[in-house]
A = this chain, B = another copy of it.
Amino acid sequence: MTKLIDVAKAAGVSIATVSRVLNNPETVNADTQQRVQQAIKSLNFRPSRVAQRLRSKGGNSKIIGLVLPDIQNPFYVDVIRGIEEVMYEHGYAAIMCNFAQDEKRERLYLDILKSESIDGLIVAPVHGRDQKVAGLVLSGLPIVCIDRGLTGVEADVVLVDNQQGAYDAVSHLIKLGHRRIAYISGLPQIPTSRARLAGYEMAFRENELVVDEELIKYGDSKHESGMKLTEELLALPTPPTALFTGNNLITLGALETIHRQGLKIPEEIALVGFDDMYWSISLNPPLTAVKQPGFEMGKRAAELLFQRIKDPSRPTAKVVFDAKLQVRSSCGATTIKTS
């Protein structure tokens, strides 16, 4: 590996000067700069980011951590792409950690990231009272939360108005005449699960309808739980006429169960999902779903993080995006908006 000293020799200067042209070119004579740049180029030199990181703590190690609950969920994939987009422009890299909705795993990754001396962290905490993340925030590490906020500590956060999104979805179902509407939720300790439940209940309340608790099921937000809980729901003495699924993966699981049982959507059971996918239109039937702008959310989160790294004392921001209902045909005949 070629290093500072090699470049220094080649250019006939000291390593300090080389370091300077790397970090503060303006403090170096134009022609010295030239010679050094030459040497750098011809030796194909790249400074060791590890050594840089060890030396200068905080803010210029050009690496951040990314801790997300489930990489199988296309929503998070969009978030990742958004984050990556702006990081790429800044020459940053990300250490990506997928904790698969498992708190133990989240903690391990957080420990690793900490000892990697990252510049900042974008995280969707396992739950609102995530002590590990809270501790990191308090320790001064620049952090922005995505998708899920943190209670009790100040931190930047970008998310969607989950309650309103769920409210719109369920209202849509109610308007279509449905009364027995089931909700398949993710784990209740996840803030988004609760906000979506609140939206569901609000829609009932506003229509002076009463929620039937047996129609609310909790799972772990994965495909399998979507399948299983849909089975349970369909096996009820009086099964629901409509299903509101709490996320992407649950929706796909519900669809699978419904298809396996040969039920017709929306005639025998209607379906709205939280989280849209760009191929929702190709599902059977084209899925009506609440769309979160994952890509934009990711970009915004990364921008917030960079701002906070630059100015750690700036006031925290809370960015709330709208969740929009995409009406297709899984709830009944309506105008089919092409996604």
Partner-B contacts on A (CB < 8 A): 46-51, 53-54, 62-63, 66, 71-72, 74, 77, 80-81, 84, 88, 91, 93-98, 105, 108-109, 111-117, 223, 252, 255-256, 259-260, 278-279, 281-286, 338
Contacts and interface: CB of A to CB of B under 8 A. Distances in A.
A97 to B, nearest CB: 7
A81 B98 contact: yes
B112 A93 contact: yes
B279 A282 contact: no
Nearest to A47: B115
A309 to B, nearest CB: 17
A298 to B, nearest CB: 12
B105 A97 contact: no
A252 B283 CA distance: 10
A282 B50 contact: no
B117 A282 contact: no
A223 B80 CA distance: 18
Contact of A282 (B71, B94, B284): B284
Nearest to A65: B93
Given A71-B80, A94-B96, A46 B283 contact: no
Identify the 9 closest CB pairs spanning chains A and B, nearest first: A284-B284, A96-B96, A255-B282, A252-B279, A49-B115, A46-B115, A50-B117, A93-B112, A50-B53
Nearest to A278: B223
Contacts of A50: 50, 53-54, 115-117
A266 B103 CA distance: 45
20 contacts: A49-B112, A63-B116, A71-B77, A71-B84, A72-B81, A80-B98, A81-B98, A84-B98, A88-B108, A93-B97, A93-B109, A94-B95, A94-B96, A95-B95, A96-B96, A252-B282, A256-B279, A259-B282, A260-B338, A282-B284
